A and B are shown apart, each in its own frame.
Chain A
Amino acid sequence: MIVMKESDKKYWTDDPERIEKYVLGQVSAEEKVRMEKEIADCEPCKAKLREEMEIAAGIRRYGRDALKQRLRSKLKRERASQYYSYQYIGLAASVVIIAIGIGLYKIWFSDLVAPKQFRQQEIVLTQKQDSAEEKIVPQENNEQGTPSQNLTEQREIAKRKKSNLADEQLSNKPSQISSGAGADQLQQTPPAAALADAGESNSSQGSSAIWLIGKVVMVTGQLETMSHSESKMEMSKRSDKQAVKEKSVETAASEKMIAVRRAKDEGIVLQQRAAKDIPDARTRQYTMHAQEVQTLLERTDNGFSLTLYADNVKDSDLQEAVVETLTEDSLVVSLPHQRIAFRMPSGWNSQPAHRR
């Protein structure tokens, strides 16, 4: 308890510790009232108290300002960090949107792309010059495939894919074009050709036409192996071991082909058109190669229509043409000066056929 005596002429404001306690609010409310009452008539005391309070307030202000400054710095960093976070999020969102856009673009325009399944493994019918022996040479046309892959596995995979695709395509409604030959007849087929061009696998649109790649295997009537050299080069690229294995498989397949040759006639109407008539979309999507014939296979009411887009095939050639199925999934068109082999979708020839 602070008691100031009048005789001393001293006040509590003369005691630094007491004045600090008052300033810092470290005295009770009751004591505070008494202290204030004591200096009510002492102007120097009040001035001294005020001065002490101003110093304390100034020091506190300095502390507050310094702390506020540090808080502002932290908030600024926090906001900058958030800003960059938002920027990163925005950037990531942009990338995702662009990726989705590219994806949608590809989806919308991919119907012009020929399905890979038909290009995975083309069977080329070759015939040796000396022995006239026919055999199947698997040709790696799949740009995504690896030559070192096991051949048997490749064939199994290709067969499964082809089977699925053919089931989809050939189960669609038949084309309005049932028969006929020549360009005049074919001119009536743009819808089917367009559908085929839009993608052989586009079964959802009801397409009954597919594009086939025919391999020319013999020219000028002799059993000349046009693709034999290509095949040979390809063979040389592979390891000897794989080549031997492949050859044995091919020989077996060849024997089977010969056994089933001419076993079944197909109702196929042959037509011919100039190579320049191939739709642009088809030429854009598939690079033409020598010894290949772009061919449109359409289902008709009476069977099939096979349109060869080849300049070197004449109408008279078509009159003498013979269409043969070698296996369930291969077909050969024998013309006077050349033979064209096709790899067909499984189950495509379930209908009765006739020769033209």
Chain B
Amino acid sequence: MKPTLFFLNDDAKILDLIKKGDEEALVIVYSQNKNAIFSLVMRNNGSEHDADDVLQESVVILWERVKSGRFEYTAKLSTFLYAVAKNVWSRKRMRKMREPATEFDNDAFATTDQSPLDEMISSERSRTIADALEQLGDPCKTLLLLYYWEERSQEEIAVQMGFANAATVKSKKYTCKKMLEKILKNNG
């Protein structure tokens, strides 16, 4: 699908902002897609609060994908976001309401293929680990976020965090993970 020049230009600006780490892009994407996503969620038994939550999560997923370099511009951002929101709302609703899947739950969205990690993020265990990471503090927290969330290479992390080289990052990462495991063990 070839996007029109208008959307190419508009989306390109947003993608550029995200790549630069400008979080104002999140607000722009949220505002631009609010009507469509709210309509989608509320048409499928969701409340306004649910719609707000789904849209926020979808926008964050877009941010993740772009920042990690896993985003491929094959459709307009609005199309991508709509597909992500469908999946997010489907998972949320099944989890919360234990409802059977609806007509769009089985849709295949090439742009939103969920990784095994995405499936696990909503688990209770992931919440415990997130809490432990908060306790871990910096610089380990930042390092692990850069590596596991933003999927930066060890070389990039070394530059960003001022480590000597990738080997130092690797060593530091190992230490941080051990500290995290220790916190998790202590927290039970």
Contact = CB atoms under 8 A, between A and B. Distances in A.
A24 interface: yes
Contact of A61 (B116, B121, B150): B121
Contacts of A24: 117, 148, 151
B129 A57 contact: yes
A57 B148 CA distance: 8
A58 B26 contact: no
B37 to A, nearest CB: 14
A54 interface: yes
Interface stretch (A66-74, A83-91, A116-124): A66-74
B26 A71 contact: yes
A62 B134 contact: yes
A211 B126 CA distance: 92
Interface SS of chain B:
helix
A47 to B, nearest CB: 13
A62 B125 CA distance: 12
A128 to B, nearest CB: 84
A61 B60 contact: no
B80 to A, nearest CB: 17
B26 A74 contact: yes
Nearest to A55: B129
Given A53-B116, A59-B148, A60-B121, A72 B132 contact: no
Interface residues of A, number: 25
A44 interface: no
B7 interface: no
Contacts of B121: 57, 60-61, 64
A59 B133 contact: yes
B123 A71 contact: no
B17 interface: no
B24 A74 contact: yes
Given A58-B126, A71-B59, A63 B149 contact: yes
Given A58-B132, A72-B56, A16 B127 contact: no
Interface SS of chain A:
helix
A58 B126 CA distance: 4
Interface in B133-147: 133-134, 141, 144-145
A75 B52 CA distance: 11
A9 to B, nearest CB: 23
Interface in A11-65: 16, 23-25, 53-65
Given A60-B117, A67-B63, A75-B30, A54 B125 contact: yes
B27 interface: yes
B126 A71 contact: no
A78 B24 CA distance: 11
A23 B23 contact: no
Given A25-B115, A63-B150, A64-B64, A58 B125 contact: yes
Interface string B27-71: 100110000000000000000000000001101110110000010
A65 B141 CA distance: 14
B174 A16 contact: yes
Given A25-B115, A58-B133, A75 B120 contact: no
Contacts of B123: 54, 57
Contacts of A60: 64, 117, 121, 126, 148-149
Interface of B: 23-24, 26-27, 30-31, 56-57, 59-61, 63-64, 70, 115-117, 120-123, 125-130, 132-134, 141, 144-145, 148-151, 174, 177, 180-181
**Smallest CB-CB A-B distances: 3 pairs:** A58-B129, A63-B149, A57-B120
28 contacts: A53-B117, A53-B120, A54-B126, A54-B129, A55-B181, A56-B117, A58-B126, A58-B128, A59-B145, A59-B149, A61-B126, A62-B134, A63-B64, A63-B148, A64-B57, A64-B60, A64-B64, A64-B121, A65-B130, A67-B60, A68-B56, A68-B60, A70-B23, A71-B23, A71-B30, A71-B59, A74-B23, A75-B27
